[in-house]
Amino acid sequence: MSSTLIYETLLTRSIKFWILLILQIPSIFCSIFILYHMFVSRKQRQLLANHVIIIMLIVSLLSTIIDLSITLNYLQNRIVHLSSSYFCYFWMYIDYVLYANGMLLMTWVSIERHILVFS
């Protein structure tokens, strides 16, 4: 049985931080832009096919704002500032809920698209 050691250096941590930060900012702006246009356009809002897409965008935006921000804070400072067990449970709960909801919504929208296309 071989074991693999993973060493995280200051350089790798810094690279991860900057890549995530550079991608997080446009992700937030794009999500807000798309949500704005979905909510402003009455036609887009009322289309049945867009309801799940809107919810998926909201879940994705929450995941980007909450979970990724906590991760970036950890990568930059090398510690979790609120290192209580309650915060860790909150972080794990939010992480699991948001990603599980994202997967369930993706499954639902795939089935919905299949039904709408082939019916």
Per-residue pLDDT of the chain (119 residues; tens, 9 = 90+): 556 667 788 899 999 999 999 999 999 999 999 999 999 988 888 888 788 899 999 999 999 999 999 999 989 988 887 888 898 899 899 999 999 999 999 999 999 888 878 87
Q: What's this model's pTM, rounded to 2 decimal places?
A: 0.82
Query: What's the confidence (pLDDT) of residue 5?
Result: 66
Query: What's the confidence (pLDDT) of residue 119?
Result: 76
Phi, psi (rounded to 5 degrees) for 79: -145, 160
- The conformation of residue 73, written as its DSSP 8-state character, comes to H
**Alpha carbon 78 to chain centroid, angstroms:** 22
Phi-psi region of 92 (alpha: psi -120 to 50; beta: other; left: phi over 0): alpha
